[in-house]
Amino acid sequence: MKADQFQSPDYYNLDDLLSDEHKMVRDAAREWVKREVSPIIEEAAQKAEFPKQIINGLAEIGAFGPYIPEEYGGAGLDQISYGLIMQEIERGDSGVRSTASVQSSLVMYPIFKYGTEEQKKKYLPKLASGEMMGCFGLTEPDHGSNPSGMTTTFKDNGDHYLLNGAKMWISNAPFADIAVVWAKNEEGRIYGLIVERGMEGFTTPETHNKWSLRASATGELVFNNVKVPKENLMPEKSGLGAPLGCLDSARYGIAWGAIGAAMDCYDTALRYAKEREQFGKPIASFQLQQKKLAEMITEITKAQLLAWRLGVMRNEGTATSAQISMAKRNNVEMAINIAREARQILGGMGITGEYSIMRHSMNLESVITYEGTHDIHLLITGADITGIPAFQ
């Protein structure tokens, strides 16, 4: 793979909207990605291996629990810093950002929000340092977009719960030490349980043959009469709103992350177009290529503004779930379109692993599907503006 020459586009001087702390956090993440992710990520993706050696570095740049308070090992940062970290990591690779998103928003966040004080003390510091890795089990083989239909259940069995069922498409499952698992009790009420690797009857078979997110490990969670200690149930929130609350935080991170992937594709295509000559001129001199590049920077700039404004509202505590859905949907579509156009600017070279664009393009096929599909987010906006849910 070519040396990482990334230069971040900032057409509307958005840096002026950032504090010194935001820029410091962002620049540290950017430097780390250049140093530790870019040199190894293509090979990891080609081999379909999660590069475990980056876990410590992710922890050091504050990517595990950026907004979790310092007393629990988190970085204690605001939502804009969290977004900027996700942007920089996904500039490197969506799969690496997935690992950070899951650990922060889908494992640490529910423990922090819905867990007991004992659970917070036991798990959060280790998750923040990367000593312990987690995964999040909501999706099932027969319930993806409609998680409320889940059939994974737990029942009271004296001094423990008995957990049965299966989860599918779970990021980090093959190596996670713990899983935050959403299951129904005997009354059909959804709760989150912390399941630890090693519990009898709990297995995590890996999902192979993915063409997307190849540097991220995906797997199943299978529960066969798993005895889960009662103290592992997170008691502070139940119902579908509990896992969906975690998704709000992760979807927000993706709205920023997708900008990173798009910026990398744009920057690569711009440099290539200025260097590559055909018909005796740089291809950047042709109007058709300029149209592509001009539209890319326009769309990136709009997405940056959307994410920044959403971050401000998240900091104020006023952002709605529907506003988050709009940003996730818009920014991922923006990124996938830019990846496709950028790939074409590189001609044949665009399909090779010499450049990052094809990997981003394939990764974004997962990003547009997970954390709520493109269709589901449109329906969330539709329901919000009309007051009429059209999910069924």
**Contacting ligand TGC within 64-93 (CB under 6 A):** none
218 binds ligand FAD (CB under 6 A): yes
Among 57, 76, 125, 144, binds ligand FAD (CB under 6 A): 144
Among 128, 132, 170, 368, binds ligand FAD (CB under 6 A): 170
Residue span 298-317 as binding mask against ligand TGC, x where in contact by CB under 6 A, dash where not: --------------------
**Contacting ligand FAD within 270-299 (CB under 6 A):** none
Question: Which of ligand FAD, ligand TGC, none is residue 375 near (CB under 5 to 8 Å by kind)?
Answer: ligand FAD
Answer whether 192's CB lies under 8 Å from 232's CB.
no
- Which of residues 229 and 239 has its CB atom nearest to ligand TGC in the complex? 239
Residue 243 CA to its chain's centroid (Å): 15
| Nearest distance from C-beta of residue 167 to ligand TGC, angstroms | 10
- Written in H, E and C, the secondary structure of the chain is CCCCCCCCCCCCCHHHHCCHHHHHHHHHHHHHHHHHHHHHHHHHHHHCCCCHHHHHHHHHCCCCCCCCCHHHCCCCCCHHHHHHHHHHHHHHCHHHHHHHHHHHHHHHHHHHHHCCHHHHHHHHHHHHHCCCCEEEECCECCECCCHHHCCCEEEECCCEEEEEEEEEEEECCCCCCEEEEEEECCCCCEEEEEEECCCCCEECCECCCCCCCCCCCEEEEEEEEEEEEHHHEECCCCCCHHHHHHHHHHHHHHHHHHHHHHHHHHHHHHHHHHHCEECCEEHHHCHHHHHHHHHHHHHHHHHHHHHHHHHHHHHHCCCCHHHHHHHHHHHHHHHHHHHHHHHHHCHHHHHCCCCCHHHHHHHHHHHCCCCCCHHHHHHHHHHHHHCCCCCC
96 binds ligand FAD (CB under 6 A): no
Question: Which of ligand FAD, ligand TGC, none is residue 356 near (CB under 5 to 8 Å by kind)?
Answer: none
245 binds ligand TGC (CB under 6 A): yes
376 binds ligand FAD (CB under 6 A): yes
239 binds ligand TGC (CB under 6 A): yes
Question: Which of ligand FAD, ligand TGC, none is residue 46 near (CB under 5 to 8 Å by kind)?
Answer: none
Q: Which stretch binds ligand TGC (CB under 6 A): 126-134, 289-297, 306-314, 366-374?
A: 366-374
Tell me, yes or no, if 371 is annotated catalytic: yes
191 binds ligand TGC (CB under 6 A): no
| Nearest distance from C-beta of residue 41 to ligand FAD, angstroms | 16
Q: How far apart are CA 37 and CA 51, in angstroms?
A: 9
375 binds ligand FAD (CB under 6 A): yes
**Contacting ligand TGC within 123-182 (CB under 6 A):** 136, 138-139, 145, 147-148, 171
- Residues in contact with ligand FAD, counted by CB under 6 A, come to a total of 22
| Nearest distance from C-beta of residue 11 to ligand FAD, angstroms | 31
Residues forming contacts to ligand FAD in the complex (CB under 6 A) are: 102, 135-139, 144-145, 169-171, 213, 218, 366, 369-371, 373, 375-376, 379, 391
Q: Which residues are catalytic?
A: 371
